[in-house]
Structure 1
Amino acid sequence: MTHLLIGCPFSCTLGHEVLLWIHGATSSCCDMVASGLVQSLFSIVQDFCIFLEKEKYNRANIGLQQLYSTFFQELMNLKQLDEAENLRRKILHIMELSKTWSDLNKFDLGQTQNFNYFGMEGWDSFGTTMAAVQLSVTVVTLGKLRESEELLQRCLAVRKKILSEDHIQVASILVYLAKLSLLRIISDIKVNNDLCRSHLVRGKRLVNDSIRIAEKILNPLREDQKKPKNAFGIELERRIAATGILLEALEIVGLLDCLNMAIQEWAPAFDYENFEQAVRKWVSLYNEPRTRNIVSNALRAHYMKCWRTLVGGTRRTPYMNAPHIQDLLAESQQIMKELGGENNMTGSVDFGDAEE
């Protein structure tokens, strides 16, 4: 345990010394956890956090996040969920009390070039919303859906304020909230019919908003395409991020349709147009030159998983035998074969009678 304390800058005056110590401590974190010294490590990290708060070493936030992330992952691997939750809360608390020196390479600034991210206080910072999202994901594993939703709603408001309402980082929060709607439906499906219907409507609205934002980024106006060549790398990263968000959103569309069928005893009649539009959007990602390479390489596994989610839950529905749906599914199946996913597919396009 003591090797982690060697060189600990509890009395240093230079911020870079703090960062150097954090870098070394991160590599020691896994060793301590593996040795069963979780509680000792947790105490050390907490003491160091108090030191940072007292001395206001704001520059250490990014390095500290790295240390926390390593520690958090080890706790999750050991199924110590309560301690993992406490750690996430500590991270958020530190971010709330300090200025966030954002790593500008971590997220897209394309829509906010004139905004000053440096020196933002507390919740009005991107870094704080990142910590809050991580906490929201953690508390979901503990069944705290309402708290998770409250955190995400606050993150959504902040990101709309400091970024823009059509920013990809706003779309990512909308996807998280749509996933929560799915979980709320599953939680209430045998208890409260009205709540299920409300969650279903809200989930569709959230996922539609995220799809709209992602598609806007993937299909910019001609004026937006006239950018210098040195912006190519940034644009590619934006397209990959937007494509990933779109695929997640399309998966949610499929899952919402499955739940809609499960509750249609009290929900409106099942509308297959949502499914059809989602599959067409999936196909267009492969047919569109600007995204074909992305879904064929960088996001290939995600792309194929999205198709299986969309089609898997609706194979036995009557409308799947409609000619235009069969043609659409045949085209999508051909894409899956070209991507090498045919080994996990049925041999027929007749998904109306296909077995899982």
Structure 2
Amino acid sequence: MFLRQVAGNLLKRLGFPSRHAYSASGITNNASRSRKIEISNWHGSGAYSWRIDPRDPRLWVVICGNIAMILGINANPVFAKEASTEASSDNDTERADIIGLRKIEDGSIVSNIHTSKWRVFTDKGREFFLQGKLDEAEKLFLAALEEAKEGFGKRDPHVASACNNLAELYRVKRAFEKAEPLYNEALDILKESYGYEDIRVGTTAHNVGQFFLGQRKLKEARGFYEIALKIKRRALGYVHLDCADTMYHLGVVLYLQGQEMDGMALIQDSIKMLEELGEGESFECVRRLRYLSQIYTKSHNLAEAEMIQRKILHVMELSKGWDSLDTVIAAEALALTLLASCNFKDAQDLLERCLKTRKALLPGDHIQIGANMLHLARLALNSRLLNSSDVSRAEAELDKAKDHLQNSIRIARQFLDKSLKQNNKSKNYSPPRHSGKEGRAALVILLQSLNTMASLELAKQELLGTQEGHINHNAEEALLQCISAYKEFPSKSIADAPEVKNEYLSCLKHVESLLGDKFHERTKQ
């Protein structure tokens, strides 16, 4: 009778509240339904890749995509991100996921002091976990595990629940070596108690899939997701939110393994399932749409990406209105796709509206505003290169773009300088602030702005026909500042970031093309 009560009471998962991090989304997580890690963005993969002539210095900053901008400046309040192209290199431990702490225990009356303590430790541990107080939660989860073994027996589902909670916490803290044996113990107990095809086994198998996906162990993750999906379909039916969840993550794994068509089909099916269940405007559905648009962008299928991003923006406008950074972020993603598609007018309209909203919602020196100005400057530069028949108008556009770039450079420098000063005054040995995502994004914005400034100066020189045959000293100065900026903020976590290295190398190539034989002499100076 006891086991029947246990098996019959499956409580809902708990979700995590928001904390500050950067990603392509700014949507607040729906804790009642979102249970797993947040999928990270693909913008670091160089989604908008334009072919440029390395011999033409004007074109070094022709739209290379939203590689770093969306990586660093779009405020997504989540604890962590899921495995993607960057997961294996992200060592930020101050992160937590939207995950499920599944209660497997029943509602039976407390029988002794051990079970009473177990409940207190478990509930308080979950409370701390939801608050992001991971160290306090760990102590309570450890105590709950011991009390569960004492009060219920070592092979009881309450022990499995305690193991799962502790394993999920260690996964969030990236203490993978501690998490794996706990997951295995939880699975063994649940299989022993309920059989191999029980929904609780499927749920835990999904969690283990998340565990392996976070480590980029795609083969292992795929195996557990397939088990979880098979069990969930038998227990819940094919059209169910939990089935859609596992289907989506399995699709992500297949895509990362190179089975792109199969992966995209599963992701699309999971989205359709949410829409059939009336969840087409939920955070979960928007998140999956965004990931799918990133896949299309990466494969240069900009038409499909644009269609999905318009749908996301429509949902954001209806649910949050334009007085929301979430809507701004969706609009900016669409604008960048339009920019890559050479739809300059619509892109400019969206970017200008984004900038206006950001100025109303954020401090004037916020890094998002700097990035927004950089986007507008690059748009003006590239639209001028395509159509410069009206010289006076083109010159006015370049002057406006220059103002945007100067502000973008100022904002990025202020952020980085402030971070350095704070770190120099700090007496502890904690990692410097600018070594995190914010600093990485700020440095990329600074490098891109200086590099773009050089291209702008060269474009203006050609437009006006000045200094022909001579080195453009304004462009040279901007490029040398770009090189100096990379050296000025010597954090290893920043310098080794792929997006930072790419911008630095682009700057070096640009200055080498500009200076020719004088390159080594001037860069050494």
CA contact under 8 A between 1:295 and 1:303: conserved in structure 2? no
| Corresponding position: 1:307 with 2:505 | no
Q: CA deviation digits over 1:302-352, x for unaligned, max 9? A: 21211222442x347xxx9xxxxx5x85251x49xxxxxxxxxxxxxxxxx
Query: Closer, same or farther in 2 for the Cα pair 1:257/1:159, shift >3 Å?
Result: same
Supply the distance in 2 between the matched residues of 1:26 and 1:274 (Cα, whole angstroms): 46
Supply the distance in 1 between the matched residues of 2:394 and 2:439 (Cα, whole angstroms): 34
Q: Which residue of 2 aligns with 1:128?
A: 327
Could you tell me how far 1:224 is from its partner in structure 2?
Answer: 4.2
CA contact under 8 A between 1:53 and 1:94: conserved in structure 2? no
| Corresponding position: 1:157 with 2:356 | yes
3-state SS of the aligned residue for 1:232? coil
Question: What amino acid is aligned across from residue 503 of structure 2 in structure 1?
Answer: H
Q: Which residue of 2 aligns with 1:187?
A: 386
Q: Which residue of 1 aligns with 2:12?
A: none
3-state SS of the aligned residue for 1:166? coil
Could you tell me how far 1:202 is from its partner in structure 2?
Answer: 1.2
Q: Which residue of 2 aligns with 1:104?
A: none
Q: TM-score, normalised by structure 2?
A: 0.46
Supply the distance in 2 between the matched residues of 1:142 and 1:210 (Cα, whole angstroms): 24
| Alignment equivalent of 2:416, drawn from 198, 215, 218 | 218
Supply the distance in 2 between the matched residues of 1:258 and 1:295 (Cα, whole angstroms): 29
CA contact under 8 A between 2:439 and 2:494: conserved in structure 1? no
Could you tell me how far 1:72 is from its partner in structure 2?
Answer: 2.2
Q: Which residue of 1 aligns with 2:98?
A: none
Could you tell me how far 1:82 is from its partner in structure 2?
Answer: 2.3
Supply the distance in 1 between the matched residues of 2:267 and 2:300 (Cα, whole angstroms): 16
Residues 210-289 of structure 1 mapped to structure 2, 5 A cutoff: 210-220=408-418, 224-225=422-423, 226=425, 229=428, 232=431, 234-237=433-436, 238-265=438-465, 272-288=472-488
Query: Closer, same or farther in 2 for the Cα pair 1:296/1:71, shift >3 Å?
Result: closer
CA contact under 8 A between 1:174 and 1:206: conserved in structure 2? yes
Supply the distance in 1 between the matched residues of 2:421 and 2:511 (Cα, whole angstroms): 34
Q: Which residue of 2 aligns with 1:168?
A: 367
* Same amino acid, percent of matched pairs: 23
CA contact under 8 A between 1:81 and 1:142: conserved in structure 2? yes
Supply the distance in 1 between the matched residues of 2:305 and 2:373 (Cα, whole angstroms): 24
Structure 1: where are the runs of 5+ without partners? 99-120, 321-325, 336-356
Query: Closer, same or farther in 2 for the Cα pair 1:18/1:124, shift >3 Å?
Result: farther
Q: Which residue of 2 aligns with 1:204?
A: 402
CA contact under 8 A between 2:264 and 2:292: conserved in structure 1? no
3-state SS of the aligned residue for 2:431? helix
Q: CA deviation digits over 1:223-258, x for unaligned, max 9? A: 745458486354322332211111101110121122
Supply the distance in 1 between the matched residues of 2:346 and 2:427 (Cα, whole angstroms): 44
Query: Closer, same or farther in 2 for the Cα pair 1:301/1:266, shift >3 Å?
Result: closer
3-state SS of the aligned residue for 1:91? helix
Could you tell me how far 1:50 is from its partner in structure 2?
Answer: 7.3
Question: What amino acid is aligned across from residue 90 of structure 1 in structure 2?
Answer: K
Supply the distance in 1 between the matched residues of 2:492 and 2:339 (Cα, whole angstroms): 34
| Corresponding position: 1:72 with 2:293 | yes
Supply the distance in 2 between the matched residues of 1:130 and 1:282 (Cα, whole angstroms): 27
Could you tell me how far 1:135 is from its partner in structure 2?
Answer: 0.7
CA contact under 8 A between 1:95 and 1:128: conserved in structure 2? yes
Q: CA deviation digits over 1:139-173, x for unaligned, max 9? A: 12332111111111122122223332111111111
Query: Closer, same or farther in 2 for the Cα pair 1:122/1:47, shift >3 Å?
Result: farther
Question: What amino acid is aligned across from residue 303 of structure 1 in structure 2?
Answer: Y
| Corresponding position: 1:85 with 2:306 | yes
Structure 2: where are the runs of 5+ without partners? 1-228
Greater Cα shift, 133-142 or 232-241: 232-241
RMSD: 4.1
Could you tell me how far 1:89 is from its partner in structure 2?
Answer: 0.6
Q: Which residue of 2 aligns with 1:142?
A: 341
Supply the distance in 2 between the matched residues of 1:73 and 1:287 (Cα, whole angstroms): 32
Could you tell me how far 1:195 is from its partner in structure 2?
Answer: 2.1
Greater Cα shift, 271-280 or 150-159: 271-280
Q: TM-score, normalised by structure 1?
A: 0.65
Query: Closer, same or farther in 2 for the Cα pair 1:125/1:260, shift >3 Å?
Result: same
| Corresponding position: 1:34 with 2:34 | no
Query: Closer, same or farther in 2 for the Cα pair 1:310/1:37, shift >3 Å?
Result: closer
Supply the distance in 1 between the matched residues of 2:451 and 2:410 (Cα, whole angstroms): 15
Q: CA deviation digits over 1:21-41, x for unaligned, max 9? A: 643454577899626987x97
CA contact under 8 A between 1:197 and 1:267: conserved in structure 2? no
Find the structure with the greater CA-based Rg.
2
CA contact under 8 A between 1:182 and 1:256: conserved in structure 2? yes
Supply the distance in 2 between the matched residues of 1:94 and 1:17 (Cα, whole angstroms): 23
